Amino acid sequence: MNVESQVLQWFDHFHKYPEVSWKEYETTNKLAEILDVLQVSYRRFDDVTGLLAEIGEGDEVIAVRADIDALWQEVDGEFRANHSCGHDANISMVLGALLLLKDEKLSKRIRFIFQPAEEKGNGANAMIDRGALEGVTHLFGVHLRPIEELPFGKVSPAIHHGAAMFLEGKITGIDAHGARPHQGKNAIDVTVAIHQALKNLYFSPFEAYSAKLTKIQAGGENANIIPGTATFSIDVRAQKNAVLSQMKDQIEKDLLAIKQLFDIEIEWKWEDVTPGAEVSKEAAAMTREGIIGAVGMDNLAEEVITSGSDDFHFYTVRHPEVNAAMIGIGADLTPGLHHPNMTFNYEALAIGAKVIAKTLSNSSKKH
């Protein structure tokens, strides 16, 4: 079986059996099974899913990361695990690169990081804590891009993700009869005030940022009860980490002011903070060279700037000495990432595998 067919077969399997963050048990088992067949050494963990594999020899280490989890979302009226972010493709492309490289003479070790829980924003930290970056000088990632960013065949040497954080909050007011609103403290009024406060966030127009309510839950079955309690979620994004920090401070000031204005309780917690990309010029130059070597200058695209986020960038936030870049693969992906019916041109899988392999091969020969 040639590499293209094998990569597609792997993709078909992972696409058929998606697993959500921290529960990628069978995905990890399948990866171990594939590595056993390929006779590639790997290390699993007792307490988390995912694994680390290595090929090559030498003291220096080049690494590549593939995220392995799926989303939990409604698909055709049913909630289930679904690979609408393309992590099944990322796994398959990185495995394809391993297949292309495993018998090549390498002067450095190449580590393959099959990372859980990217969608939860803390899988990268789990891998770092378990030694994924020990000895690593350069780290590469890969991800399919939506059609509005990259068409099929085009490949970008770097993805500049934005920073993101998510807030989970609870409002505690007082229930009241619909005929006597003055006796209660309406949690829906509070959520409307929070919504307006987010719309009134203003920072430099030269910066890209957004903040919006993404969940509001209040009330029950009875239309004549004014709800005193509500829960809500806020999605906050910025292209730069510094701007995200400013947004966080202002949102907390606004929540405190709203709490005082309505004389109710608001509790909140920030979760899944994901840093913006810190792209290494050196690593991006290496991916650029790999793209040209694998698919030619005509298919080299510009670096992608996107408001999306990825926990890949925790690797460089915690280890700034590591040179990192994430390769963007054009695949005519529509309607978009995280859409329940996301689809793409599967021929992009072989392109991605070749580009990753060429980048890693070149990198392993540099001193």
Dig out the tokens for 112 from the structure.
């393959």
7 in Cβ contact with 92 (< 8 Å) = yes
What pLDDT score was predicted for residue 366?
Answer: 67
pTM as predicted: 0.85
| Residue ending a domain, choose from 240, 274, 308 | 274
CA 210 to the chain's CA centroid: 18
Place of tokens 């220096």: 60
One domain, residues 269 and 349: no
Give yes or no for residue 108 having a pLDDT over 70.
yes
CATH number at residue 56: 3.40.630.10
What pLDDT score was predicted for residue 95?
Answer: 98
Domain count, the chain: 2
Give yes or no for residue 179 having a pLDDT over 90.
yes
Write out the residue range of the structural domain in which residue 171 sits. Answer: 163-274
One domain, residues 197 and 153: no
Name residue 39's amino acid.
Answer: Q
- What secondary structure letter does DSSP report for 91? H
Q: Read off the pLDDT band of 308 (50, 70, 90).
A: confident
- What secondary structure letter does DSSP report for 103? T
Instruction: Say whether 295 sits in a helix, a strand or coil.
Output: helix
Q: Read off the pLDDT band of 121 (50, 70, 90).
A: confident
Vertex 242 angle, CA 238 and 245, to 5°: 80
Give the residue ranges of DSSP H helices in the chain.
3-16, 25-38, 87-101, 123-129, 187-199, 241-262, 281-295, 314-318, 348-364
Known binding-site positions for Mn(2+): 85, 87, 119, 143, 338
Known binding-site positions: 85, 87, 119, 143, 338
One domain, residues 220 and 169: yes
| Residue ending a domain, choose from 274, 293, 327 | 274
Closest of 113, 61, 42, 22 to residue 315, by C-alpha: 113
Dig out the tokens for 26 from the structure.
């069978």
